[in-house]
Structure 1
Amino acid sequence: MSPSGTPEHFLIGGELHHALHRACKERGWHGSYGPYVCIDGPRDAVQPDYVVWEPGCRRWGDELLSSGVLMTAEVISPSSVRIDRVDKLRLYALGRVAIYLLIDPIAESPSVTVHSDLEDGTYRAISTVPMGKPLHLPSPIDFELDTAIFMV
């Protein structure tokens, strides 16, 4: 589990929830911060900063199974750099999470990256924009995200 973040860390997660809320409701999905995700295969439990999943997503106990999760998002904080950029990237791809959104407000040039197009446990498509620019979240989310909302 990642160490707790700064107040700005949680504000960014709240902004993401606010941005995706209408799309989730229109499509019948759930979007929230807090639920644990069980990685299919190794059964590692992780707690993303934000998760989007469909109703009926299979579970391992109280945890959502990763193969049924549409998107996970992480907000990098000073204590989670390696965990979010390396460990969780590998776990989410291994667990077949369709989209991994990485919000990096602490980089020298703050940015937002979307990882998608899974093949053989690896994300083949990676798109990064400077924070403040629009970023298209590909299928199955298919949403234009204004990353200016993360400039808190």
Structure 2
Amino acid sequence: MMEEKHQTESTYASFPRLPQTAREMFDVLPPLPGFRVEVIEGKFLMSPMGNPEHTWLAADLHDALLPLRRERGWRGSPGGPSICIEGPRDSLEPDYVLAPSDCPRWGKWELQSSGVLMAAEVVSPSSVDIDYKEKVRLYALGRVPVYLLIDPIADEPAVTVFSEIKNGAYQVRNTTLIGTPIKLPAPIDFELDTSIFKV
């Protein structure tokens, strides 16, 4: 028993300091291929990556924004990179992120939320509450000017754009059925043909 306790103590001694919060655990976690890892309100959340259709919708958005990205020198990526929400330092991994090429970073891997132009999420059965509630609040708190929510699983599949932040919350919510164009407001200023999201 004493030997086992000594081994445990020596194992912990090799760490300079054990993680005390979910964020600190996230910071020391190695990459986990095939999993989405996020920190939301002090909770460590890990979920498998979406099915192919889920991923393809984010890729379709990426393709639709290609002319705009080329014109303005912006970067876009389905499936990341992660966004550090300034303030609480929560870490979110959107299904799609649009940012200028010089977007400031938190550490090596995360973009700082206030430098991001748009975050987009594709709703899945396991993410409905997180995408419609927690992420709406956190992206606004982090000053991400546009949050695009693609919901292919709703009774009436729809796309919602959240914009115009005031007092840490989005003031404008614009929803349209998939198949109808929707305006992505400033700083993007782009009319998105949502028929690309028909499954």
Give the TM-score of the pair, scaled to structure 2.
Answer: 0.75
For residues 98-127 of structure 1, what are the alpha-carbon distances to aligned partners after superposition, in whole Å with 9 as ceiling and x for unaligned? 000000000011000000011111111110
Looking at structure 1, the residues matched to 66 and 134 of structure 2 have their Cα atoms a distance apart, in angstroms, of 27
1:146 Cα deviation after fit: 0.4
Q: Which protein shows a greater Rg?
A: 2
Equivalent residue number for residue 68 of structure 1? 115
| Secondary structure of residue in 2 paired with 1:25 | helix
Return the letter of the residue paired with 1:104: D
Q: Is the contact between residue 35 and residue 47 of structure 1 (CA under 8 Å) also seen in structure 2?
A: yes
Equivalent residue number for residue 20 of structure 1? 65
Equivalent residue number for residue 7 of structure 2? none
Q: Is the contact between residue 6 and residue 77 of structure 1 (CA under 8 Å) also seen in structure 2?
A: no
Write the mapping of 1:2-151 to structure 2, written as runs, cut at 5 A.
3=47, 4-33=49-78, 34-61=80-107, 62-151=109-198
Where relative contact order (Cα < 8 A, 6+ residues apart) is larger, the structure is 1
Return the letter of the residue paired with 2:122: V
Q: Percent identity?
A: 58
1:7 Cα deviation after fit: 1.5
Q: Is the contact between residue 31 and residue 51 of structure 1 (CA under 8 Å) also seen in structure 2?
A: yes
Gaps of 5+ in 1: none
